[in-house]
């Protein structure tokens, strides 16, 4: 009950009209920069009850997929996958429970390193009493918060050798502890194509969903006999293009898939569909505007000629 105020604050942030109207990319930014930071202060002092942490994660998950605090349908992609790093095929969303554990891990590290802090001296006097911290087991009747700190020690102890944190030469930090709990996953080959800095973020999210086969766009085109294959593979790096040309290809492809997704939704919801020429014009406008922003006029002659042939630069 004492921690329910955290849930109320998270819900209050997403009830505004502006928050509900954000795109996937906007909602992702809000989840990472606002919703997942509201509990950081409390989470650095003690383990927040699991029911509260999981409720916060459920609200973040519902808001990202649907823009509200409640989501009745199954999400397009499992939340554990969303919480993986972008290089590993996820979106890099912070998993609140693991972040809470590694934040409390700083207290555990103080005891491993015998830091010069009053709290460490108090713990040695009251609880440890010359016992080895690595093998210490708390009494059953000890303080609730102290038992949780010892529980965190058990979760991150594999990262210590001879009382030294081995995952970062500078010593323990929340980032390396979080990486230990999250574990490693194989990198995906399409990471750079989807998350290229030139791509519009909301376009990249749609491409990410397509790569996860959550939108099934290729399969639908194949079933409608619009495409002769349900497989898609275009890698600009294999086409002998310069770096700028590769990025323009990635950006154009991302804009294309985004516009296809928009038109598909318009047809399903409103029975309204633009003619192909207007869709092409919209893609060209998006790409042209992005090139203007990213190049600021500084383009090599070879690339300028290439862009002029595509009518993408003045």
Q: Quote the tokens at residue 245.
A: 């040309």
Q: pTM of the full predicted structure? A: 0.73
> How far is 157 from 71, CA to CA, in rounded Å?
37
What residues form DSSP beta bridges with 29?
Answer: none
What residues form DSSP beta bridges with 164?
Answer: 161
Residue 121 in contact with residue 80, Cβ under 8 Å?
no
Sequence spans of domains, the chain? 4-94, 99-182, 191-309
Pick from 110, 101, 1: which is nearest to 43 by CA? Answer: 101
Residue 251 in contact with residue 285, Cβ under 8 Å?
no
Beta-strand pair 164-165/160-161: antiparallel
pLDDT, position 217: 55
pLDDT, position 86: 92
* Residue appearing with tokens 């989840």: 31
Residue pLDDT tens, the chain, 314 long: 888 888 888 888 888 767 878 888 999 999 988 888 888 888 888 899 999 999 999 999 999 988 887 767 778 889 999 999 999 999 999 999 999 999 999 999 999 999 999 999 999 999 998 888 988 999 888 889 999 999 999 999 989 988 889 999 899 999 999 999 998 888 998 988 899 888 889 999 988 988 887 775 556 556 656 556 665 544 544 456 788 888 888 888 899 988 888 888 888 788 888 888 888 888 888 888 888 888 876 778 888 888 888 877 65
Pick from 50, 29, 177: which is nearest to 103 by CA? Answer: 177
pLDDT, position 237: 47
Radius of gyration of the chain (CA): 25
Pick from 185, 37, 45, 158: which is nearest to 101 by CA? Answer: 45
Q: How far is CA 255 from CA 2, 21, 80, 177, 251, in A?
A: 46, 20, 27, 37, 6
* Residue appearing with tokens 């080895």: 132
The CA-based angle 272-257-74, given to 5 degrees, is 80
pLDDT, position 261: 86
Q: Where are the alpha helices (DSSP H) in 44-190?
A: 50-66, 79-82, 96-113, 118-123, 144-156, 174-182
The CA-based angle 68-69-70, given to 5 degrees, is 95
């Amino acid at each position: 009950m004492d921690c329910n105020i955290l849930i109320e604050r998270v819900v209050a942030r997403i009830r505004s009209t502006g928050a509900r109207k954000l795109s996937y990319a906007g909602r992702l930014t809000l989840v990472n920069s606002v919703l997942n930071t509201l509990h950081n202060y409390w989470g650095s002092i003690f383990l927040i009850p699991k029911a509260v942490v999981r409720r916060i994660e459920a609200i973040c998950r519902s808001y990202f997929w649907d823009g509200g605090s409640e989501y009745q349908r199954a999400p397009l992609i499992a939340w554990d996958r969303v919480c993986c790093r972008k290089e590993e095929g996820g979106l890099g969303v912070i998993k609140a429970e693991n972040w809470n554990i590694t934040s409390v891990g700083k207290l555990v590290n103080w005891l491993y390193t015998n830091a010069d802090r009053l709290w460490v001296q108090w713990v040695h006097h009251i609880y440890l009493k010359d016992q080895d911290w690595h093998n210490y087991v708390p009494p059953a009747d000890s303080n609730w918060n102290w038992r949780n700190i010892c529980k965190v020690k058990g979760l991150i102890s594999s990262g210590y050798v001879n009382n030294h944190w081995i995952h970062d030469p500078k010593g323990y930090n929340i980032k390396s502890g979080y990486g230990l709990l999250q574990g490693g996953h194989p990198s995906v080959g399409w990471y750079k194509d989807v998350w290229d800095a030139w791509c519009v973020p909301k376009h990249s999210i749609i491409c990410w969903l397509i790569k996860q086969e959550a939108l099934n766009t290729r399969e639908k085109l194949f079933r409608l006999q619009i495409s002769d294959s349900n497989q898609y593979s275009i890698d600009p790096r294999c086409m002998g293009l310069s770096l700028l040309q590769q990025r323009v290809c990635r950006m154009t492809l991302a804009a294309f898939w985004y516009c296809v997704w928009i038109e598909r939704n318009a047809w399903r919801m409103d029975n309204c569909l633009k003619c192909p020429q207007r869709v092409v014009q919209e893609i060209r406008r998006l790409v042209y505007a992005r090139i203007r922003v990213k190049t600021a006029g500084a383009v090599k002659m070879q690339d300028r000629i290439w862009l002029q042939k595509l009518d993408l630069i003045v």
